[in-house]
Amino acid sequence: MALENQLLKQFTRIKTLPHVALRLSKLISDENSAIRDLEEVIRLDPTLVLRVLRVVNSPYYGLKHRVDSIDRAVVFLGMKNLRNMVVTEALKNIFTIGPHEELFSRRQLWLHSAAVSICGRMISERIFEQKGEDIFLCGILHDIGMIVAEQVVTTSFIKACKTSQTEQKPFTACERELIGTDHCSIGYALALDWKLPSEVQEGIRLHHHTTKNIAPESIPGIIQLSEFIVSRSDYPAMAGMQSELPPSLAAHLNENLDEYKALARDLPDEMMHARDLYEQKEE
């Protein structure tokens, strides 16, 4: 992890996310935490408070009564959902238009990440009948290593994008050849540094790992299934970039093909319904 940690030390673009998300993760893991503890952390960024309250009151959540405080938002949504909202809102600021849009579009990557998070939650709830808060978080963050690489080792990263697209080589292989590591490992190092839940860390690390059998109901399994679906819809991470599945997940998908086809048909509507979560708007 020496190279990944070296890259992270040079990565200074994100300011709000590490501070707020780290403290929220620690508070959520602490059984003695109170709602007021979370409110105090989020209030450190007044702009973030306004954004969170705007999203809480959007049609996506469909609440009957307007929420006008962070403590009420926690009551309505739960701590993990609120944590995910804070992470999502903080990340929007770095997925802006970049200088290499023809090869690597941050906006496209943001929509891809949002689609993976929403699709992953759908899979968790509809296919496996389990909660999807941590899967949503993993989906939003699974490609964050690309943002780190693009900003820290720009020339090598853009060359990896070009090589992958022109020679139709797996992107992670091009990254390892030209950078010495890939965005999965970089993102995993970032998740370790931020002390995110261990299954979220593994989901980020393994989301392009196709040589290992992965349990379909696990966070890594659901993230891979979600990536496979959205990359074949209208939300690829980059032009021409496709995800493949390890044998265990391919078998599961084939055994439940009708359910997954229905889910894929519903994804565009879910994305539209959740647009307040991922659209980048000026305050």
Averaged pLDDT score across all residues of the chain: 85
Range of the structural domain that residue 101 is part of: 2-274
Structure-block tokens of residue 269: 């509507």
Q: Looking at the domain assignment, is residue 18 inside a domain?
A: yes
The CA distance from 117 to 133, in Å, is 9
Structural contact between residues 119 and 234, judged by C-beta atoms closer than 8 angstroms:
no
Per-residue pLDDT tens digits for 50-95: 877 887 888 877 888 898 887 788 778 787 887 787 777 777 767 7
Cα 45 from Cα 20, distance rounded (Å): 9
Contact 5, 82 (CB under 8 A): no
How many domains does the structure of the chain reveal? 1
Q: Which domain CATH number covers 48?
A: 1.10.3210.10
Is residue 281 domain-resident?
no
Q: Residue 136: inside a domain, yes or no?
A: yes
In a domain, 282, yes or no: no
* Domain presence at residue 267: yes
Q: Is 140 a member of any domain?
A: yes
Least confident piece of the model among 9-23, 95-109, 229-243: 9-23
Query: How many other β-carbons are positioned within 10 Å of the β-carbon of residue 17?
Result: 22
pTM assigned to the model: 0.85
Q: Is residue 279 part of a domain?
A: no
pLDDT one-digit tens code per residue, 1-54? 789 888 888 875 554 455 666 677 667 666 677 777 777 777 777 777 787 788
Residue 97 lies in a domain: yes
